């Protein structure tokens, strides 16, 4: 499933020779960049700021904003310009402001690269500097859609009950609704202002890798509102649409070296370009309360229920990413393309997806799962992206419960094979102990890192102290036999080394394949 074909608007730049003249990126210089980059040809001044994106980062600039840029470029509509909002770090504002909010996206494949300038971002606001400006923008009648990428941990939902759990910033926002700090403080205050003014509410679309992210957003927004006013909470629950969505595009962090390479190859001095892969996918539930953007005209798929698409993506792509991140790092690798060039780890990823995950998930209508998995392996192997394993290892305490542990829990409940899923958990346990197979130190980038590291180190090859953390593992630690299985894998890793343990587990899984394949999961509406 490749990204929908787009009309050519500029050079492909598959093998670009170094250029002598490097020019800044501004509205005034766009015409000078048109020979080496694809640049906007629509009238940016005609864009209506109808979309607000909360927490702009590399992914949103390489994904959601590209689709809205295409809507404008193809002359479908100028009614869906985007206003970006930063919540914590001002660096992006400092990069975009001198560039008139223009930026460069470079799509890289093994065959070369294509660069384009995105012009659909009409403004960028840094919320801590001027929360009133953000509230005014959200309350503006022209704002019809709010999208957001705040990571799974940002929703503040109790993992066992799903209830909204206020933190100190939330309590501040409840006391000072006119000067919020959190996403939910901004959303609820703006919705209240719209309610009081008789303005229709905007639709809120989460673009985070989170199970039923629309439901999670609704729970957080309504939960926050209930802390202020039950009448407001009921109005939001009744009137605001929170469609779930599935997003997919691998977008590594842009390094200073990448910025220099973009300047040299394309002649553009962009303070913060984005480098990404050609593949892109966005599936959204067709539930909007204030007009639906014409994103279906540029490759977005609107569906009745996104759950099957979400399960496919999170359990195959995201879970495999996490598993390869930890196991590959422990084995001494740094990049995923190098890792899957190793037949042991390529075999692990393939057998994990084929034997242990695919039988657990329904196949979305119109999707060939075998083709999807083959595409994933090609994307992992893309040397032009060179995605670093350190990125995949971040925030494990959030990612594993959402992406990998659901498959493991389901496999245990249904008596299905799960040795490679268990091996992935063992990889995370070892990673938390902060040393790879050669004893080199590993960074743990996780809000709960110190607590989880202490538990992992206290247990050694005994995972029970770590499994006792129910905020991550739920009841997995009490599932009969699981702790013993995980301990056995950790002991084999300590005795035989990481690579040999992976190779042995893959071989055993393949050897144990039944003569008749296990039945795949039923569609969700047939269960």
Contact assessment for residue 267 and residue 21, using Cβ atoms and an 8 Å cutoff: yes
pLDDT single digits (tens) 366-419: 899 999 999 999 999 999 998 999 999 999 999 999 999 999 999 999 999 999
Q: Is the pLDDT of residue 319 over 50?
A: yes
* Separation of alpha carbons 152 and 360, rounded Å: 23
pLDDT single digits (tens) 391-402: 999 999 999 999
Percent of the chain exceeding pLDDT 90 equals 87
How is domain 23-303 classified at the CATH fold level? Rossmann fold (3.40.50)
* Separation of alpha carbons 305 and 183, rounded Å: 25
Mean pLDDT over 304-325 rounds to: 97
* Separation of alpha carbons 110 and 480, rounded Å: 47
Q: Is the pLDDT of residue 1 over 50?
A: no
Confidence tier at 5 by pLDDT (50, 70, 90):
very low
pLDDT value, residue 524: 55
Confidence tier at 162 by pLDDT (50, 70, 90):
confident
Sign of the dihedral defined by the CA atoms of residues 481, 453, 493, 311, in that order: positive
pLDDT single digits (tens) 467-498: 999 999 999 999 999 999 999 999 999 999 99
Contacts of 233 by beta carbon, 8 Å cutoff, 6+ apart:
222, 225, 226
pLDDT value, residue 438: 84
Q: Is the pLDDT of residue 18 over 70?
A: no
* Separation of alpha carbons 173 and 184, rounded Å: 9
pLDDT value, residue 436: 83
Q: Where are the alpha helices (DSSP H) in 176-305?
A: 183-197, 213-226, 230-239, 256-266
Mean pLDDT of the residues in the chain: 93
Among 1-5, 27-31, 256-260, 508-512, the range scoring the smallest mean pLDDT is 1-5
Confidence tier at 437 by pLDDT (50, 70, 90):
confident
Confidence tier at 521 by pLDDT (50, 70, 90):
low
pLDDT value, residue 397: 95
Among 202-216, 285-299, 436-450, the range scoring the smallest mean pLDDT is 436-450
Query: What residue segments make up the domains of the chain, in order of their start?
Result: 23-303, 306-512
pLDDT value, residue 434: 85
Confidence tier at 440 by pLDDT (50, 70, 90):
confident
- Strand runs (DSSP E) across 102-215, as ranges? 103-109, 112-118, 121-126, 145-148, 203-206
Confidence tier at 527 by pLDDT (50, 70, 90):
very low
pLDDT value, residue 6: 38
- Reduced to 3 states (helix: H, G, I; strand: E, B; else coil), residue 299 is coil
Q: Is the pLDDT of residue 9 over 50?
A: no
Confidence tier at 241 by pLDDT (50, 70, 90):
very high
pLDDT value, residue 120: 98
SS (H, E, C) 333-373: CCEHHHHHCCHHHHHHHHHHHHHHHHHHCCCCCCCCHHHHH
Percent of the chain exceeding pLDDT 70 equals 94
Mean pLDDT over 2-14 rounds to: 37
Q: Is the pLDDT of residue 519 over 90?
A: no
Mean pLDDT over 106-117 rounds to: 94
Confidence tier at 283 by pLDDT (50, 70, 90):
very high
* Separation of alpha carbons 349 and 373, rounded Å: 10
Confidence tier at 520 by pLDDT (50, 70, 90):
low
How is domain 306-512 classified at the CATH fold level? 1.10.1040
H helix or E strand, kind and range, residue 302: strand 301-303
Per-residue DSSP letter, 104? E
pLDDT value, residue 410: 97
Q: Is the pLDDT of residue 174 over 80?
A: yes
* Separation of alpha carbons 416 and 411, rounded Å: 5
C-alpha gyration radius of the chain: 23
Q: Is the pLDDT of residue 526 over 70?
A: no
* Separation of alpha carbons 384 and 272, rounded Å: 18
Mean pLDDT over 262-283 rounds to: 96
- Give 519 or 96, the one with higher predicted confidence: 96
């Amino acid at each position: 499933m490749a990204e929908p074909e787009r009309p050519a608007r500029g050079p492909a730049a598959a093998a670009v020779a170094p250029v002598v003249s490097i020019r800044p990126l501004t509205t005034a210089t766009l015409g000078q960049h048109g020979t080496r980059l694809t640049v906007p040809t629509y009238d940016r001044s005609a864009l209506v700021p109808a979309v607000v994106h909360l927490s702009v980062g590399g992914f949103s600039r390489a994904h959601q904003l590209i689709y809205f840029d295409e809507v404008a470029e193809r002359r479908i509509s100028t009614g869906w310009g985007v206003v970006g909002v930063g919540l914590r770090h001002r660096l992006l504002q400092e990069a975009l402001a001198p560039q008139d909010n223009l930026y460069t996206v470079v799509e890289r494949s093994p065959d070369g690269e294509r660069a384009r300038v995105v012009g659909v971002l009409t403004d960028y606001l840094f919320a801590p500097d001027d929360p009133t400006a953000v509230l005014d923008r959200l309350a503006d009648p022209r704002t019809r859609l709010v999208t957001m990428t705040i990571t799974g941990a940002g929703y503040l939902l109790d993992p066992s009950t799903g209830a909204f759990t206020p933190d100190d910033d939330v309590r501040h926002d409840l006391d000072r609704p006119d000067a919020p700090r959190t996403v939910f403080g901004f959303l609820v205050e703006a919705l209240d202002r719209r309610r009081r003014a008789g303005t229709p509410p905007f639709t809120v679309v989460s673009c985070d890798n989170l199970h039923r992210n629309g439901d999670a957003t609704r729970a957080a927004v309504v939960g926050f509102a209930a802390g202020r006013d039950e009448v407001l909470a009921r109005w939001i629950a009744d009137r605001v649409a929170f469609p779930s969505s599935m997003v997919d595009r691998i977008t590594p962090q842009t390094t200073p070296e990448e910025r220099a390479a973009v300047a040299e190859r394309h002649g553009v001095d962009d303070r913060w370009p984005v480098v990404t892969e050609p593949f892109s996918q966005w599936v959204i539930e067709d539930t909007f309360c204030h007009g639906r953007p014409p994103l279906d005209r540029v490759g977005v798929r609107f569906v009745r229920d996104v759950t099957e698409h979400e399960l496919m993506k999170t359990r195959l792509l995201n879970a495999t990413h996490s598993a390869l991140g930890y196991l590959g790092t422990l084995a001494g690798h740094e990049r995923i393309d190098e890792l899957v060039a190793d037949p042991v780890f390529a075999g692990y990823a393939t057998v994990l997806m084929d034997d242990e995950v695919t039988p657990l998930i329904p196949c979305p209508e119109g999707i060939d799962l075998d083709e999807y998995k083959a595409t994933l392996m090609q994307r992992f192997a893309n040397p032009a992206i060179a995605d670093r394993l350190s990125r995949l290892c971040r925030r494990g305490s959030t990612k594993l419960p959402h992406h990998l542990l659901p498959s493991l829990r389901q496999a245990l409940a249904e008596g299905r094979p799960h040795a490679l899923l268990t091996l992935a958990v063992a990889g995370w346990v070892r990673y938390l102990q902060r040393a790879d197979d050669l004893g080199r130190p590993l960074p743990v980038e996780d809000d709960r890192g110190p607590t989880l590291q202490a538990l992992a180190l206290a247990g050694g090859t005994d995972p029970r102290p770590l499994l006792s953390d129910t905020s991550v593992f739920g009841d997995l630690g009490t599932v009969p036999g699981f702790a013993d299985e995980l301990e056995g894998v950790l002991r084999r890793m300590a005795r035989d080394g990481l690579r040999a343990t992976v190779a042995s587990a893959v071989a055993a899984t393949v050897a144990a394949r039944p003569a008749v394949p296990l039945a795949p999961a039923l569609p969700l509406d047939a269960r």
